[in-house]
Every structure is written in C-alpha cells, then in structure tokens.
Amino acid sequence: MNNSIKAAAKTMAAVIAAGAMAVAPVAGTINFGAMTAMAAEQTVASKITGLQGGEKIHAYQIIKANSDYTYSFVDGVETVLNPSGTADADKVTIANLSTKLTADKLNALATAVLNSSLTLTDVYATGGQSVTGDTATLNLGAGSYLILIDSANDESTIYSPMVLSNGYDDNSVLQAGTLQANGNYSGTSTAKHTSITPKKQIVNPDGTADGTNYSQTGTDSTDGDTITKYAHADDLQVGDTGTFQIASQIPPYSDAYKAKDLTYYLVDNQEDDAFSAPTITAVEYYDIATNEWVAISKVETETAKGYISAAGSVTGNTFTPAENGKDFKVTFTSAWLKEHFNNKVRVRYTATLLATAKQGKNGNEDTVDVTYTNDLFDGTKTDTDKVTEYSFPINVVKTDAADNTKKLEGATFKITRVTLSGTTWTEVTGTGAYPSSNAEGATSNGNNNIAATNKDGVAKFGHLDEGYYKIQEQDPPKGYSTNGTEFYIHVVPTYASGALTGYTIYQVNKDTGADIKSGTTSVSGDDTTGFTLTVTDSPISELPSTGARSALILTIAGIAVMIAVMAASRRKKIAD
C-alpha cells in the first residue's frame, strides 16, 4: 500500500471512529485503521456482553472492506439509508456514516431486513448463533454488522437493533468490536434492552380500624395514584367486593417493531369457587404528557385500535372463550400498540367473595398471565403474577354447664361486626356489617347472621376478615336456659412481602378491649379450622326455684286440709 492510500485510509478511519462514538446509543465499537491485509482473509472474535442467556444472535453485514483497502456499503444498504438518493449533502457515505447512522436509520435497516425488502445474508444463516451464559462470541471479519437478537422463549428482555464493528489498527491488526447489550456503551446508558414484569394487585386493601395495618402494601407514586394503597395479599369476608388491578407496561420497542404484527394480551384466571364473575371497570394507559390515566376504547375487530376482551377459561397458555366464564382475556390490538410503545397500561375489575371460598391459611389465589412480543423474530413471552385473598372461620360450641362433654344441638347464635374505640363497642350497620355464615343450619334474619348448632353442638361462622365481632346466643336448646353473655372476638391476620405470614383469633375482654392471649382464648393461624368459642347452658330443671317449691308445699298443705275437712264433714253426717 502506498503512502497516499495509507493516509487516505487513516483519515477515513479517524472520521468513522469519531462518528461511532457519536452514535453510541445504537452502535458498538468501530475503529477502522490502515489495512495491509485483505479484510475477507481475516476474522476476529467479537463479543456481545450483557445478555440473559439462551438468545440467538443474527448478524447482517452492512459495511464491507474492499480489495483496494476502502470500505463500502453492502448492496442495497445505502438505498435504505438514503431512499431519495438525490442531494449529496444527505447521501450516506462511509465518510459521513457517523452522522447518518442514527437510531431511525438503524430501525429502517432492521425493518427492511425483516420484511425482505433488503436481502442481506445472516452470517449465522442456520438460525442464529445460540448464546450460553451472558456473552456471545462472533467470529467476524472487518466491517459493520447489523445485530438482531432472537430472545429465548422464557426471556423477558426485549432488544433493539444494534451495530457491531471490527477494524484494523495502525499496526495492521484486526481489532474486535465489543457490544454491551445491557445498555452500557462508553459509560453512557442506552436503552438497548428492557424487561417487562406485570403486577397484579389488590386496590385499597383492608386495614385495622385506625388504618395502620398496611405493612403488606405500598404507595404507587409513579402513575398518579399517590394516595392509593396496593397489596398482593388481603382479607375479605363473604359478600365483600374486592377491587383488583393488573398493571403492566408496553415494552419500549424500537420503530423496527412497527414492521411486525405485535402481540400483547393478558389473561386473568380466578381460583374456582372463590369469586363471582368479574366486572371490568377500566382499561387505561398512562399519558405522561397530561399525567393522567386515559381510557382505551374497546373495539370489535383486531384491525381497529384499542382492546378486545372476552370471558372464558384458561388451560395452560390456551384461552378458550366461553359465556359466563369467570376468567377473562384483554387483548391490545397491534395497531394500538404501535402508537403506544413504552406506555403503562392497567386493567381494573371487581369481584365478590363467595361462601365457597377457601378459609384459613389456604388463601384464594388469582393469577394473571401477560403475553407479549419479545423479539423481532415473532417470539413471545408470558410473565405471571398473582394475588391471594384470605378469610377466617370461627366455631361456636354449645355444651351442658355441668357436663362439657355433652354437646347441645339447636342453639342459635348471632354474629355482629363491631368496632372498638378505647373501651367502647359500637355495632357496625349498613352494607357489609354482618358476615355471612357458612354453617349447617344457618339461617338469615334480615341483616342478622344467625347460625344453629348441629348435632355435634357446633355453629360455624365462616369467611370473616380482619376486625372485631360480637357473638351472642339468641335461643337456647330445648330444656336449657339462655346464656346472656356477650362474647367479643378479634381476628388479626399479619402480612409481609405480599403474603400472609399468619393469623391469630383472640377472645377479647369486653370491659378493657384487650386481647386475651392465654389458654384457649386464641388460636394461631397455621391451620384451617379457626377459633373455637365454647358457650355453656344450664338445664332449666337445675335452676334454683325456692318460690315455686314453697308454692307447691302450700298447695299440698291446702289440699290436705280440704281432704281433712271433707272427711270430718262426712263423719258428722254419718253420726247424725
């Protein structure tokens, strides 16, 4: 190579190298220097780091080294980068690559390759090079390569198109470029990839009367709802309606993804027999320009913009629509997605806890699966989240006061929700004041929940949530007196890191309001049977009745006197 060619090559290399730094958000290392060997004759081990593992790498050469030691675009590339092909000032050449290979041009290249309007050969034409670990090693020659990553099926990472470049240094040694796919290039954060994780939450969960039992919750300050509390686990009583939220994000796809038919849908799956059919109350996205949630319109066809919903059932990843199904699916159309890259979305719905729900430590799990396009090669990924609702049982056992082993059938008890302020008890009125019972022989008496003891002497009040309750006998078993004592009960679940860690049910001192924490007055929450309250009755025959006994004696005495009088009278008549 003569000195003039060498000088020209060095000058060109310096321009390109400087330009590569200017396009750091989309390009890897490029440093073409003076060449003394044919580019096609040498390869070097180039690396892509910061991967998740399991990807396949596709590399398409867009700049090649020529036999005369110059560089040029691969056929067709320049046309894509400069479709007008008119003004020299706008024409993309090797010399001004640094200012022309912007993110939109890179996306245009990727789009052209994906829709086959630009035919480039994948260096790994057999379907990409598989990645083991977090680094891919590619044996590539001198030039620049469009890198498209086919994510693994179980990977939540979405990659944007990238460029990797190799070049010669001044000592005629081919230098490998290194591309950091995790977003770090020369110390600059670049959104090379991102991960999408859905969140299913309970909105405004129950707390204690003073609102302090929110250890399982957090405040979402990023979506405008700075006062709304959320939880992954909470407690409800039968008949309570919970509000649930599914929150996620449309991936920050690059514009290259607009060439694809995008997939993004969620499937909500409720545990059998736990909740009523859901009612969707909102499907929205967060508008960062106005800092508010905006409703997304429901549409009838996939080609329209908005979302489609359906009720049905879920088996694995297959969704089968069905009338009156409790599970449901919300699909965001491809047309809508292409206008809302990187937007947050949420779906809110309500559902009511049923008397057939599980109780105690076995909560009722509701899951959501969010399935979305996770690469430029039609791959999809499904991520899952869940919430759990709990409720707790109380058993009332009726026994004979003189013989606790004798269980009494037919007694009725009423349970009432109450609040405690200091030492003052107040009955709660209105909707939700009285929990539904789940007992044998349970009866409804207006707003009163009354359950009768069965043959084993047990009345079961089921599906209670956190709080205070009053239990009082209404009618005694036949032949027994009524126990007039008011019994107060306190249900205390505890949560941490979005899960129930346990629950305790206490009997409460009526006068002080203090939980009684000894003996059989409480139960620890690692079981499903709940708390047992024992109430005794005395037979009527055993009750003290001095007045009645005196009356009986007088009656007997009176009868005796009458008999004596009658006998005397009879004797007198006979004597006369």
DSSP 8-state assignment for residue 375: S
> Which residue did the predictor score with more confidence, 11 or 517?
517
Reduced to 3 states (helix: H, G, I; strand: E, B; else coil), residue 149 is strand
* Ramachandran area for residue 391 (φ above 0: left; ψ -120 to 50: alpha; else beta): beta
pLDDT tens-digit readout, 205-252: 653 322 333 334 444 444 555 445 677 888 888 878 888 999 898 988
Single out the residue in 152, 178, 194 at which a domain terminates. Answer: 194
**Out of 137-151, 163-177, 290-304, 462-476, which region has the weakest mean confidence (pLDDT)?**
163-177
The answer on 489 and 560 residing in a single domain is: no
**Out of 189-203, 248-262, 383-397, which region has the weakest mean confidence (pLDDT)?**
189-203
> CA 355 to CA 179: how far, in whole Å?
58
CATH number at residue 217: 2.60.40.740
Single out the residue in 178, 194, 210 at which a domain terminates. Answer: 194
> CA 166 to CA 176: how far, in whole Å?
5
| pLDDT value of residue 397 | 92
The answer on 200 and 174 residing in a single domain is: no
The answer on 355 and 415 residing in a single domain is: no
**pLDDT over 70 for what percent of the chain?**
68
The answer on 438 and 403 residing in a single domain is: yes
> CA 496 to CA 479: how far, in whole Å?
49
> CA 355 to CA 435: how far, in whole Å?
10
Radius of gyration of the CA atoms of the chain, in A: 39
| pLDDT value of residue 553 | 55
**Out of 23-32, 191-200, 282-291, 470-479, which region has the weakest mean confidence (pLDDT)?**
23-32
> Which residue did the predictor score with more confidence, 263 or 123?
263
The answer on 534 and 494 residing in a single domain is: yes
The answer on 554 and 492 residing in a single domain is: no
Taken in order 135, 141, 143, 145, the sign of the CA dihedral is negative
Average pLDDT over residues 414-424: 91
> What is the extent of the structural domain holding 566?
548-576
Residue 374 is encoded by which pair of tokens? 């996770």
**Per-residue three-class SS string for 174-243:** EECCEEECCCEECCEECCCEEECCCEEEEECCCCCCCCCCCCCEEECCCCCCCCCEEECEEECCCCCEEE
**Out of 95-99, 349-353, 414-418, which region has the weakest mean confidence (pLDDT)?**
95-99
Domain count for the chain, please give it. Answer: 4
The answer on 108 and 97 residing in a single domain is: yes
> Which residue did the predictor score with more confidence, 84 or 25?
84
CA atoms within 13 A on the CB side of 311: 12
> CA 352 to CA 355: how far, in whole Å?
10
The answer on 202 and 189 residing in a single domain is: no
Single out the residue in 388, 422, 448 at which a domain terminates. Answer: 388
> Which residue did the predictor score with more confidence, 149 or 565?
149
Most confident of the following: 111-115, 192-196, 216-220: 111-115
> Which residue did the predictor score with more confidence, 161 or 193?
161
Reduced to 3 states (helix: H, G, I; strand: E, B; else coil), residue 107 is helix
Q: How does strand 486-496 pair with strand 318-321?
A: unpaired
Contact 238, 462 (CB under 8 A): yes
> CA 244 to CA 301: how far, in whole Å?
27
The answer on 514 and 465 residing in a single domain is: yes
pLDDT tens-digit readout, 497-547: 777 877 888 899 999 999 988 655 555 554 556 678 899 988 886 545 455
Average pLDDT over residues 16-22: 32
Query: Which residues partner with 427 through β-bridges?
Result: 418
| pLDDT value of residue 554 | 58
**Above 70 in pLDDT, residue 1?**
no
Residue 124 is encoded by which pair of tokens? 């790994």
The answer on 201 and 190 residing in a single domain is: no
Amino acid 377 reads F
> CA 21 to CA 431: how far, in whole Å?
66
The answer on 281 and 257 residing in a single domain is: yes
User: Could you tell me the pTM of the whole model?
Assistant: 0.76
- Cα angle 6, 7, 11 (rounded to 5 degrees) comes to 120
pLDDT tens-digit readout, 121-174: 888 765 667 777 788 888 888 888 898 988 876 677 788 888 888 877 777 777
Average pLDDT over residues 427-435: 66
Please provide the average confidence, as pLDDT, over all residues in the chain: 75
Average pLDDT over residues 348-358: 88
The answer on 172 and 157 residing in a single domain is: yes
| Residue reference for tokens 């050449």 | 93
CA atoms within 13 A on the CB side of 172: 8
| pLDDT value of residue 23 | 34
Q: How many residues does the chain have?
A: 576
DSSP 8-state assignment for residue 278: P
**Out of 55-64, 365-374, 491-500, 543-552, which region has the weakest mean confidence (pLDDT)?**
543-552
The closest of 497, 496, 443, 433 to 465, measured between CA atoms, is: 433
What is the widest separation between alpha-carbon atoms in the chain?
Answer: 176
**Above 60 in pLDDT, residue 186?**
no
**Above 90 in pLDDT, residue 425?**
yes
Residue 370 is encoded by which pair of tokens? 């969010």
* Ramachandran area for residue 436 (φ above 0: left; ψ -120 to 50: alpha; else beta): beta
> CA 161 to CA 220: how far, in whole Å?
32
pLDDT tens-digit readout, 23-82: 333 444 444 444 444 544 678 888 888 888 888 889 999 888 776 666 788 899 888 888
Residue 448 is encoded by which pair of tokens? 């009163």
The closest of 155, 177, 162, 182 to 55, measured between CA atoms, is: 155
**Above 80 in pLDDT, residue 295?**
yes
**pLDDT over 90 for what percent of the chain?**
21
| Residue reference for tokens 């729900």 | 357
**Out of 4-18, 56-70, 203-217, 288-302, which region has the weakest mean confidence (pLDDT)?**
4-18
Q: How does strand 178-180 pair with strand 44-49?
A: parallel
| pLDDT value of residue 222 | 46
